[in-house]
């Protein structure tokens, strides 16, 4: 594997990488420098973008956890994982009586740092937003004249994203594709979906793209990619969640000041782009899980 300047940490059994954008782009350029040479067919890679919801799912879905931990690069997408890591690395105490008070105070401190001291918060683990990395990779592909495939849902999210991207990126060869409707284990739901999947895979094999972006939503996208990964003739792949909807304009980008404050979850809730059940996992269940792990298990 080509070297990439990064730091890998563990949060609740899920491996997560911290890397600068420039290091990630160097890694991708290096891996794809000779693609599609047959001698480099084992050099392909896949990148996952992680958030608290996915880490929580990994606690009860060992297959999903293995897929995440097998990735070549796992990006902490958003501030939640960064805050969790900082909290877990703060000093511990052996005193059973002091633990709740010390760790509660530490939690408050980390919470305030989200608003007022990002430099300290990200000193060990740096947040990289998946949709921004996606755009950086599209820019790189445009510079190199690469072939890129976007595969998304039945609402043609990938095709719409390609239409939007094509207005500004003229040198990259962009292809948008509809993927199958999948169940939670990433299996096609119907005979029609089996046929859609077959045609999609055949198209990917025919085109041999430098990059494949998969936007089915977690955990479907990770499981689908992993199931087909060894067979796909691609340079590299990345799962992108709802990025296609942002690019096409279906989902509005949050104001920069909201994103900088780590309140994007609130924006998604207020605009109706994400349901409360999912928000709750990220902003309530996950922090409590992290606190409990440090308090009881000495994590």
Three-class secondary structure of residue 238 per DSSP: strand
The pLDDT assigned to 254 comes to 79
For 145-171, write each residue's pLDDT tens digit. 999 999 999 999 999 999 999 999 999
Pair 167, 137: CB distance under 8 Å: no
For 228-274, write each residue's pLDDT tens digit. 999 999 999 999 999 999 999 888 877 777 777 777 777 777 777 77
Predicted TM-score (pTM) of this structure:
0.92
Domain residue limits, the chain:
7-77+128-248, 79-126+252-296
For 285-295, write each residue's pLDDT tens digit. 999 999 999 99
Q: How far is CA 139 from CA 20, 44, 158, 174, 226, in A?
A: 16, 20, 17, 12, 25
The pLDDT assigned to 276 comes to 84
- DSSP per-residue letters across 263-297: -HHHHHHHHTSS-HHHHHIIIIIHHHHHHHHHHHS
CA 100 to chain centre: 32
- DSSP per-residue letters across 178-232: E---B-TTS-BSSHHHHHHHHHHHHHHHHH--SEEEE-S-TTHHHHHHHHHTTT-
Token pair of 232 as six digits: 């796909």
The pLDDT assigned to 42 comes to 57
Q: Within the chain, which residues score under 50 in pLDDT?
A: 1-3, 40
The pLDDT assigned to 255 comes to 79
The pLDDT assigned to 269 comes to 76
Token pair of 208 as six digits: 């041999």
């Amino acid at each position: 594997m080509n070297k990439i300047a990064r730091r890998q940490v563990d949060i609740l059994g899920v491996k997560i990488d911290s890397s600068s954008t420039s290091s990630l782009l160097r890694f991708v350029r290096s891996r794809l420098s000779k693609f599609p040479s047959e001698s480099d067919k084992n050099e392909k890679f896949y990148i996952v973008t992680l958030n608290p919801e996915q880490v929580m799912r990994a606690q009860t879905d060992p297959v999903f956890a293995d897929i995440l931990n097998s990735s070549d690069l796992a990006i902490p997408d958003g501030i939640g994982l960064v805050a969790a890591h900082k909290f877990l690395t703060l000093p511990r105490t052996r005193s059973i009586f002091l633990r709740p008070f010390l760790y509660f105070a530490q939690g408050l401190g980390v919470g305030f740092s989200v608003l007022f001291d990002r430099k300290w918060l990200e000193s060990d683990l740096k947040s990289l937003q998946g949709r921004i990395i996606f755009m950086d990779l599209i820019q790189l592909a445009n510079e190199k004249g690469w072939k890129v495939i976007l595969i998304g849902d039945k609402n043609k999210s990938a095709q719409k994203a390609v239409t939007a991207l094509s207005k500004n990126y003229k040198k990259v060869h962009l292809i948008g594709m509809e993927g199958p409707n999948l169940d939670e284990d990433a299996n096609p739901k119907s005979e029609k979906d089996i046929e859609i999947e077959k045609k999609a895979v055949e198209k990917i094999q025919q085109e041999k793209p430098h990059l494949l972006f998969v936007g089915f939503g977690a955990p479907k996208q990770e499981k689908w990619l992993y199931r087909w990964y060894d067979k796909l003739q691609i340079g590299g792949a990345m799962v992108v969640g709802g990025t296609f909807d942002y690019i096409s304009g279906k989902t509005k980008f949050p104001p920069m000041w909201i994103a900088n404050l780590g309140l994007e979850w609130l924006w998604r809730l207020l605009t109706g782009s994400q349901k409360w059940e999912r928000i709750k996992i990220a902003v309530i269940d996950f922090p409590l899980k992290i606190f409990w792990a440090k308090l009881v298990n000495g994590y």
